[in-house]
Structure 1
């Protein structure tokens, strides 16, 4: 499965075979059971995860409710950027949504690799920029669209969410009541 990860890395930055080998030597696959917590609210995030199989969900809690903010599926990278960059306590949780396999890139090891290789440093910068763009696109979904339009956006652009995410988690992600989502799904 390393071939898919290597292809993803090369799509982010054009690494020489030596730099790619160095980066790949810094990580290993890690199997996770459904429900496994990778990051808790209040902890400092020290890792960037690549999802090989399964998915991770990012969420926060408000008044006892879990509010989903992201689902990272196969071939996605995920982290809690603010905590990772500033060493501030995380406002979010990251949890395996099903049996999942991730590759972990620790901040400490990445910083060491950045000092050794300008190519790997470029990969890290490009990856963070890509993650920021993804966050901005998600934020725009909520600034620009109504709940019904957000649902239609998911239907058109991310139908896998409808198949793999529970109705309760999906409604939380879309910022609407479960009943509202049920009504929208029944409309032709």
Structure 2
């Protein structure tokens, strides 16, 4: 079964990059989640005119503080369909927290660039991106969380060494 096959995928590639499993493609107006059965389901529909500005997924073989695989935002040259595994390199982290069961908990998002990207190939750190790029991503999450009526805060940002530490702490 597809879901069982994903369990055997390591967090890192043989070349030392990271594996990223795409759940929600860039440009999607729906947030998809991988169901325990191995099928995708629509977890949320975004308001008219709102789309995911990046690929969203996770790093297989990891476990973040919330018990789920480590969340990742993937920068690519165009949309990558849900269910694809992409080689990527870390460039930073968006440090965030949101409400779960009445408590504010950390829910950071690692940011990575697809290895095959030509558009983002020269970027090694989140701070190298165009002015306002990280702010745009943070604004997306603020709007997304407001839409589902969940408290949300941006805590800060981190560079690629912070992202590497988060990956290591998550077992990757």
Whether TM-score is above 0.5 comes out as no
- Answer 1 or 2: which has greater helix percent: 1
Q: Which has the higher contact order (CA 8 A, sep 6+)?
A: 1
Considering only CA atoms, is the larger Rg found in Structure 1 or Structure 2?
1
Q: TM-score, normalised by structure 2?
A: 0.27
- Answer 1 or 2: which has greater strand percent: 2
